[in-house]
Amino acid sequence: MPGLPLLLAAALLSSWAQLWTDAGSWWSLALNPVQRPEMFIIGAQPVCSQLPGLSPGQRKLCQLYQEHMAYIGEGAKTGIKECQYQFRQRRWNCSTVDNASVFGRVMQIGSRETAFTYAVSAAGVVNAISRACREGELSTCGCSRTARPKDLPRDWLWGGCGDNVEYGYRFAKEFVDAREREKNFAKGSEEQGRVLMNLQNNEAGRRAVYKTADVACKCHGVSGSCSLKTCWLQLAEFRRVGDQLKEKYDSAAAMRITRKGKLELVNSRFNQPTPEDLVYVDPSPDYCLRNETTGSLGTQGRLCNKTSEGMDGCELMCCGRGYDPFKSVQVERCHCKFHWCCFVKCRKCTEVVDQYVCK
C-alpha cells in the first residue's frame, strides 16, 4: 500500500491538473493567432498540442479537423467582441484580462454573465464555420443543402450557395461541448451543476444562430425587372444574434442541481427554461470593486454618463462612490461637401466636451 506522503503527492498533483485544465479555455484561440489551414502539415500533431486552452477531447478534434481551427478562433473573437458591445455600458463589460483564461477568474462563478459568455462564444463558432463552408474554405463541407422552404413561390429558384448552418451547428456542438462532456463529477455535485449549466448555454448560443438564419434572394432579369429570383439560406448579422442572446440574459433562469443530477428551477413558479434559454447557478457579484478572488475588475476609472438613469449613468456605474469630471478634445469630420465627380471633402472640427469617470 502506498505511503501517506505518496498519496498526498498524488492528490496534490491531481488537484493541480484540474486547476491547470480549468485555467485555460478554447476562447484563447481568439487572442492567440491560429495558423491558416494552408500552413498546416498533414498529420502534424504538434500543431494541435501547441494550441493553448484545448481540452484533451478538443485536441483530438483539432488533429482530425486542423483546417477548422483558424475559424474556431475567428468565431471566438466574434463572440468576445459581441459580448463587449452588449455589455459596454454595464459594470461588468466583458473585459479580457489575459491570453490564457481570456476573461479571468470571473468565469469560475456560474453567473448569468458567464452564461451569456458561453452562449455568445458557441454562437460565434457556428457563425464562423457555417460561413467558411459556404466560401469553400473547408474540405469537409460546402454550400448549404437545406430543403426548399414550403412557402417559397414556385417561380423562385432555390439553390444559391447558402451558409451551411447545419454543418456549423453540428461541428460547434461536437467541439465546444467536448470540454464539458469529458469531465466526470459526482452526480448531484456543484461541479456537475456547472457542467450542465455550460452545456445548456452552449446550446442556447448555437440555436440563436440557427433560428435567426433566413432566406435571402437575388433578382435576375433585364434592366432589373426581377423576372426571376434565386434564393438561398443566409446567416443573420451577428449583432442580431447578440441582441437575442442579450434578451435571454435578461430573462435567464436561476437553477440548482438535484441529488439525481438534474438542473431544476430555484423558483418553481417560473416557466421551465427551453433549450433556447440561458440558465445560471450562482448569483452575480456586484462588480463594483476590484476583487482578485472573484476576478471582478471593479468600475474605478470607467467612463459614465452623468445625465443617464440607466446602468451607464454615473450613480449606478460608480456604485455611489462618486465621479470626477474632466475635459477631452474630440476631433470629428465636419462641413463635408460632395465634389463632382466623385469624392467627398471634409474639414476637421475639434470640440471640447465634458466627461466623467468613476472614483
pLDDT tens-place string over residues 98-150: 777 788 899 999 999 999 999 999 999 999 999 999 999 999 999 998 888 88
The three three-digit cell numbers of residue 321, written as one number:
462612490
Question: If DSSP codes are grouped into helix, strand and coil, which group holds residue 194?
Answer: helix
User: What is the distance between the alpha carbons of residues 207 and 170, in angstroms, rounded to a whole number?
Assistant: 11
Measure CA 288 to chain center: 24
HSE of 136 in the Cβ direction (CA atoms, 13 Å)?
A: 1
Q: Is the dihedral of CA 84, 92, 72, 252 positive or negative?
A: negative
CA nearest to 115, candidates 287, 299, 237, 281:
281
Q: pLDDT tens digit string along 242-277? A: 999 999 999 999 999 999 999 999 999 999 999 999
- Interhelix angle 112-134/69-86, nearest 10 degrees: 140
Looking up cell 445625465 gives 307
Neighbouring residues of 291: CB distance < 8 A, sequence distance ≥ 6: 285, 298
Phi, psi for residue 54 in degrees, rounded to 5: -85, 140
The pLDDT tens digits for 288-345 are 999 988 889 999 999 999 999 999 999 999 999 999 999 989 898 998 998 888 888 8
One-letter amino acid at 159 equals G
* Radius of gyration of the chain, Cα coordinates, nearest whole angstrom: 24
pLDDT of 23 over the 60 cut: no
pTM of this prediction? 0.86
Query: What span, in angstroms and rounded, lies between the C-alpha atoms of 340 and 334?
Result: 19
Residue of 138, 13, 20 lying closest to 74 (CA atoms) = 138
Write the burial class of residue 303 (CB in 10 Å: 0-12 exposed, 13-18 middle, 19+ buried): middle
Average pLDDT over residues 22-42: 69
C-alpha cell of residue 194: 456547472
Residues in the chain, overall count: 359
Average pLDDT, the chain: 88
